Amino acid sequence: MDYWSTWLLCISLLGTVLLTSGVELTFELPDNAKECFYQEIKKNVSSTLEFQVVTGGQYDVDVTLEAPNKEIIYRQVKTQFDSHTFVPAVTGVYKACFSNEFSTFSHKLVYMDFQVGDEPPLPGLGEHVTVMTQMESSAQEIHKHLSSILDYQTHHRLREAQGRKRAEDLNERVLWWSVMETAAILIITIGQVFVLKNFFTERTSFQSSFQKH
């Protein structure tokens, strides 16, 4: 696992700890490979599947979301990122699959966030039946805002990682192109020197032969 994989995995594990239901992770998707994840969801519980290709190839994957009855409720082909919210009609295990089978050599890194249900309130706020105090209401609002900030930070880090990786790939291509141009210039220069040297050598030999005659 390279630097980007390790770094993004740490981000994902942090998000997974904070989520009480669902899955949030970053995983490697090799070429000609397919990875599936399973999540048990109850009927009428709103859920969201979100994904983004962080590195690799054209930054695209095929995605399908399958219901327990084998019905495909969501499908995307060669997509870089997307978010799909749905309300399950039946209780059961739902399967989200990410495919890189169309690629023959591009190894990819994919971020996935499978959220199930609404985030629960802060501990202790739902233990009494009285009206929440102003402090409790404020704490609940702060908790919601902090959760939103965490989501924004995660997406910002993913975009930053993607941009940095693209910049590094571009820099590597420019470097190799410069090396190839330098080598080509050296080869052409050496070739021209040999051509000119042979030209003057043949001319000198021709003049010497002419003078003898």
3-state secondary structure of 46: coil
pTM: 0.59
The H or E element spanning position 163 is helix 134-212
Q: What is the pLDDT of residues 173-211, one digit of tens each?
A: 888 888 898 888 999 988 888 887 777 776 555 555 555
The answer to whether residue 195 is domain-embedded is no
The answer to whether residue 88 is domain-embedded is yes
CB 103 within 8 A of CB 34: no
What single string gives the DSSP state of each residue in 69-133? Answer: TS-EEEEEEEESEEEEEE--SS-EEEEEEEE-TT-SS--EEEEEEEEESPPPPPTTTTS--SPPP
Nearest to 39 by CA among 82, 97, 79, 89: 97
The answer to whether residue 197 is domain-embedded is no
pLDDT > 90? residue 132: no
- Check which CATH number belongs to the domain holding 37 and give it: 2.60.120.380
- Answer with the residue of higher pLDDT: 113 or 19: 113
Q: What is the pLDDT of residues 29-53, one digit of tens each?
A: 998 999 999 999 999 999 999 998 8
- 59 torsion bin: left (phi>0), alpha (psi -120 to 50), beta (else): left
The answer to whether residue 62 is domain-embedded is yes
The answer to whether residue 83 is domain-embedded is yes
The H or E element spanning position 164 is helix 134-212
Edge-to-edge strands of the sheet including 22-29? 22-29, 108-116, 47-55, 81-86
The answer to whether residue 192 is domain-embedded is no
The answer to whether residue 7 is domain-embedded is yes
Domain that holds residue 115: 3-120
Number of domains in the chain: 1
The answer to whether residue 171 is domain-embedded is no
